[in-house]
Amino acid sequence: MTHPAPISNLATHEVENQPVPRTGNLSLWHSDPVLRDHVARAGADAAAIKVAGDAFGSDEARHHAAEARRDPPRLLTHDRAGRRIDEVHFNAGYHAMMDLGLSHGYAASAWHPTGGARPAGHATHAALCYMLSQVEPGTCCPLTMTYAGVPALAADPGLSSQWRPALLSHDHDPAIAPVAQKRGATIGMAMTEKQGGSDVRANSTRAVRDGDAYRLTGHKWFCSAPMSDAFLTLAQADGGLTCFLVPRWLEEGRNRLYVQRLKDKLGNRANASCEIEYDNTRAWRLGEEGAGVKTIIEMVHHTRLDTAIAPAGLMRAALSEASWWVSGRSAFQRRLIDQPLMRAVMADLTLEWDSALALAMGAARAFDDDCAVGRAYSRIAVALAKYLNNKRAPVMIYEALEALGGMGYIEETPMPMLYREAPLNGIWEGSGNVICLDILRTLAKAPLATHALRAQLASVRDTDPRYDAALDAHFKRWPALPPESEARWFTDSLAQLLAASHLIAEAPGAVADGYVATRLAGQRGATIGAVSGLDFDAILARIGTAPE
Ligand SMILES: Cc1cc2nc3c(=O)[nH]c(=O)nc-3n(C[C@H](O)[C@H](O)[C@H](O)COP(=O)(O)OP(=O)(O)OC[C@H]3O[C@@H](n4cnc5c(N)ncnc54)[C@H](O)[C@@H]3O)c2cc1C
Q: Helices (DSSP H) in 369-516: which residue ranges?
A: 372-402, 415-421, 424-427, 432-445, 447-458, 465-477, 487-506, 509-515
254, 278, 256, 265: which is closest to 190 by C-alpha?
Answer: 278
Residues 6+ apart with CB under 8 A from 250: 178, 282
What pLDDT score does 8 carry? 66
Longest dimension (CA), the chain: 78
- Supply angle C-alpha 65, 34, 334, rounded to 5: 80
Which residue's CA is minimally distant from atom 41 of ligand 1? 434
What pLDDT score does 2 carry? 61
3-state secondary structure of 160: helix
**CB 224 near ligand 1, within 6 Å:** yes
What pLDDT score does 10 carry? 78
Contact of 304 with 430, CB cutoff 8 Å: yes
What pLDDT score does 19 carry? 94
What pLDDT score does 36 carry? 98
What pLDDT score does 11 carry? 83
Residue 530 burial (CB count, 10 A): 13
Ligand 1 atom nearest to CA at 188: 8
Which residue's CA is minimally distant from atom 27 of ligand 1? 197
- pTM more than 0.85: yes
What pLDDT score does 545 carry? 67
Q: Domains of the chain by range and CATH?
A: 33-154+163-168 (no CATH), 179-291 (2.40.110.20), 294-543 (1.20.140.10)
**Residue among 221, 427, 486, 490 to mutate when testing ligand 1 (max atoms within 8 A of CB):** 427
**CB 423 near ligand 1, within 6 Å:** no
- Supply angle C-alpha 471, 477, 480, rounded to 5: 95
Which residue's CA is minimally distant from atom 23 of ligand 1? 197
For 144, list phi and psi in degrees, rounded to 5. -65, -45
Residue length, the chain?
548
What pLDDT score does 5 carry? 63
**Residue among 186, 434, 436 to mutate when testing ligand 1 (max atoms within 8 A of CB):** 434
What pLDDT score does 546 carry? 40
HSE-up of residue 187 (Cα within 13 Å, Cβ side) = 33
Cα→Cα distances 531→341, 523, 525, 526, Å: 10, 7, 7, 10
How far apart, in whole angstroms, are the C-alpha atoms of residue 257 and residue 249? 9
How far does the centroid of ligand 1 lie from the alpha carbon of residue 466, in Å?
37
321, 299, 300, 454: which is closest to 399 by C-alpha?
Answer: 321
How far apart, in whole angstroms, are the C-alpha atoms of residue 75 and residue 337? 46
Task: Return per-residue pLDDT of the chain as tens, 548 residues.
Answer: 567 665 666 788 888 999 998 889 999 999 999 999 999 999 999 999 999 999 999 999 999 999 999 999 999 999 999 999 999 999 999 999 999 999 999 999 999 999 999 999 999 999 999 999 999 999 999 999 999 999 999 999 999 999 999 999 999 999 999 999 999 999 999 999 999 999 999 999 999 999 999 999 999 999 999 999 999 999 999 999 999 999 999 998 999 999 999 999 999 999 999 999 999 999 999 999 999 999 999 999 999 999 999 999 999 999 999 999 999 999 999 999 999 999 999 999 999 999 999 999 999 999 999 899 999 999 999 999 999 999 999 999 999 999 999 999 999 999 999 999 999 999 999 999 999 999 999 999 999 999 999 999 999 999 999 999 999 999 999 999 999 999 999 999 999 999 999 999 999 999 999 999 999 999 999 999 999 999 999 999 999 964 33
**Residue among 192, 424, 441 to mutate when testing ligand 1 (max atoms within 8 A of CB):** 192
Ligand 1 atom nearest to CA at 145: 8
Which residue type is seen at 360? Answer: A
Ligand 1 atom nearest to CA at 189: 9
**CB 233 near ligand 1, within 6 Å:** no
**CB 144 near ligand 1, within 6 Å:** no
